[in-house]
């Protein structure tokens, strides 16, 4: 009996210890104390607005992935009430291949078009949802610009992955409902839904026998089929379509004015006049990305600008003019962004598809009518471009004052038990901090929920304390 009591005590203490969030560990000698954070940006003496450019990762179902972070700021840090967040509307891309009534891009999967008609293509449009709040003890407004690219991959996943998996491992009834649901517009103006599967077919698939054991089937249907397939889609030819959509959404985010009186997302901030200005920072941007989102955020950057003489001569085509506007909006945001938080980044894995030095085809021009070629913009070059933007901006605004040697930072968070995260390597002169935290309970150091390990970064107190150091 004493042995049994002692054993139970040891188990209880082990479980309790496993459930308590630990302080973040890091694998290099870099200090967090001088690092800008969301909290320090909100404390700026000029009360400038702070935008979080939030890009979700794999495994997304519908809008609202930023809600975990927004709610945690309120509930965990006690800086607000969740109801204090004001939804200020959503905006969709509307140029080039995303123009109203445009024909779908000519992309095919196993010989079948990805989008069969204009109705399907319109339903696939990505969008940005804007949320605004004023937190306790911080004078500046906080904006979350939630970039939603998940609609672009629904056709492939619903028609090919979900349908096929029902016959193999067994159906996921929740995903069948998502894939067969239709409404002209979601009640919250959050995305457009289309019945990629008919209701009758979804019902038929839901009744098929489950051939895989329950735990394996759920992991395969969810994290692998619905989630990891996003990574494969995101680095293939569809990446150029996603890129074009996200670049247009960057214009919407740069134009959003949290101080405006219009309650819709159609507020307009004159960011173009600030782009060439030598004034102090008018707005601050901080990136928060989850898994594949880090790759997609930086993929919005161009490595080559349109020559000034061509722009000055007003000899640009409509497509070139649109590209220049997108370039300028992306430049505006990245110039004012010194910090990006990566949750569960997948860079090391994704870059295997883009090894430098191999023969590549030329990248298609944005908004091309045909299927675009795979991207040849290597991640290291894109991050270096960000650093160049930031340093040029600091020289322009600070004049003769010294410019910090390391102008941009990446804080890469990983749960070591997360199946879909990798360590972030050093890139150029960018300061990279790899931090580790546990997002879910460890069971005797043998098991941690794969979905909890991958999904719970935004509510982990160790993570939140780095983003808001004083709390």
Gyration radius from the chain CA atoms: 23
Q: What per-residue confidence (pLDDT) applies to 341?
A: 97
Q: What per-residue confidence (pLDDT) applies to 11?
A: 34
The beta-strand segments (E) located in 169-221 are: none
Write the DSSP symbol of residue 353.
Answer: G
CB 53 within 8 A of CB 145: yes
Q: What per-residue confidence (pLDDT) applies to 402?
A: 61
Q: pLDDT of 21-50, one tens digit each? A: 445 555 554 567 778 899 999 998 888 999
The beta-strand segments (E) located in 298-428 are: 339-343, 409-414
Write the DSSP symbol of residue 146.
Answer: E
Q: What per-residue confidence (pLDDT) applies to 265?
A: 54
CB 254 within 8 A of CB 332: yes
Q: What per-residue confidence (pLDDT) applies to 218?
A: 82
What the block records as the tokens of 29 is 């000698």
The H or E element spanning position 334 is helix 318-335
Q: What is the pLDDT along the chain (471 residues), one digit of tens a residue?
A: 443 433 333 333 333 444 444 455 555 545 677 788 999 999 988 889 999 999 999 988 888 999 999 999 999 999 999 999 999 989 999 999 999 999 999 999 999 999 999 999 999 999 999 999 999 999 999 999 999 999 999 999 999 988 888 888 888 888 888 888 765 445 555 677 788 998 889 889 989 888 888 888 887 887 777 888 888 888 888 999 999 999 999 999 999 998 876 655 557 898 998 887 767 679 999 999 999 999 999 999 988 766 655 555 566 677 778 888 999 999 999 999 999 999 998 888 887 777 766 555 544 444 444 434 444 578 889 999 999 999 888 888 877 666 665 678 999 999 999 988 989 988 888 889 999 999 999 888 888 888 899 899 999 999 999 999 975
User: Which residues are CB-contacts of 394 (< 8 A; sequence separation ≥ 6)?
Assistant: 403, 404, 407
Instruction: Quote the CA–CA distance of 422 and 57 in Å, as a whole number.
Output: 14
CB 192 within 8 A of CB 125: yes
Q: pLDDT of 109-130, one tens digit each? A: 999 999 999 999 999 999 999 9
Instruction: Quote the CA–CA distance of 174 and 10 in Å, as a whole number.
Output: 40
CB 441 within 8 A of CB 464: no
CB 176 within 8 A of CB 161: no
> What torsion do the CA atoms of 316, 322, 325, 330 make, to the nearest 10 degrees?
-130
Instruction: Quote the CA–CA distance of 47 and 371 in Å, as a whole number.
Output: 45
């Amino acid at each position: 009996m004493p042995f049994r009591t002692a054993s139970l005590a040891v188990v209880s203490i082990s479980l309790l210890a496993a459930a308590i969030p630990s302080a973040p560990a890091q694998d290099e000698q870099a200090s967090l104390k001088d690092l800008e954070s969301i909290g320090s940006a909100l404390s700026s003496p000029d009360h400038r607005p702070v935008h979080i450019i939030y890009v979700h990762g794999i495994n997304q179902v519908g809008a609202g992935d930023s809600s975990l972070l927004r709610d945690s700021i309120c509930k965990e840090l006690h800086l607000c009430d969740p109801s204090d967040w004001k939804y200020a509307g959503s905006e969709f891309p509307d140029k080039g291949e995303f123009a109203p009534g445009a024909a779908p891009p000519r992309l095919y999967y196993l010989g079948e078009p990805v989008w069969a008609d204009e109705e399907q293509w319109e339903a696939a449009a990505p969008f940005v949802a804007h949320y605004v709040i004023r937190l306790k003890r911080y004078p500046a407004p906080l904006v979350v610009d939630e970039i939603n690219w998940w609609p672009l991959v629904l056709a492939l996943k619903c028609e090919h992955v979900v349908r096929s998996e029902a016959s193999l491992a067994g159906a996921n009834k929740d995903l069948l409902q998502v894939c067969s649901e239709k409404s002209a517009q979601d009640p919250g103006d959050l995305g457009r839904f289309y019945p990629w599967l008919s209701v009758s077919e979804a019902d038929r698939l839901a009744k098929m026998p489950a051939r895989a054991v329950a735990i394996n089937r759920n992991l395969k249907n969810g994290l692998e089929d619905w989630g990891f397939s996003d990574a494969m889609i995101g680095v293939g030819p569809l990446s150029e379509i996603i890129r074009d959509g996200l670049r247009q959404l960057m214009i919407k985010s740069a134009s959003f004015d949290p101080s405006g009186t219009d309650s819709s997302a159609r507020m307009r901030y004159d960011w173009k006049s600030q782009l060439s200005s030598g004034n102090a920072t008018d707005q601050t941007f901080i990136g928060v990305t989850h898994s594949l989102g880090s790759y997609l955020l930086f993929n919005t950057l161009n490595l080559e600008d349109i020559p000034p003489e061509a722009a000055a001569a007003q000899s640009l085509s409509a497509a070139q003019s649109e590209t220049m506007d997108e370039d300028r909006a992306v430049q505006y945001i990245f110039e004012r962004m010194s910090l990006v938080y990566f949750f569960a980044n997948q860079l090391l894995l994704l870059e295997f598809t883009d090894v430098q030095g191999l023969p590549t085809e030329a990248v298609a021009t944005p908004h091309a009518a045909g299927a675009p070629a795979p991207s040849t913009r290597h991640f290291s070059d894109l991050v270096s471009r960000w650093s160049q933007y930031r340093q040029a901006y600091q020289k322009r605004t600070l004049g003769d004052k010294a410019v910090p040697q390391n102008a941009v930072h990446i804080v890469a968070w990983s749960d070591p038990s997360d199946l879909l995260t990798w360590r972030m390597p050093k890139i150029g002169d960018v300061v990279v901090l790899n931090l580790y935290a546990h997002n879910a309970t460890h069971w005797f150091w043998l098991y941690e929920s794969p979905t909890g390990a991958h999904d719970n970064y935004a509510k982990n107190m160790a993570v939140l304390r780095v983003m808001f150091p004083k709390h």
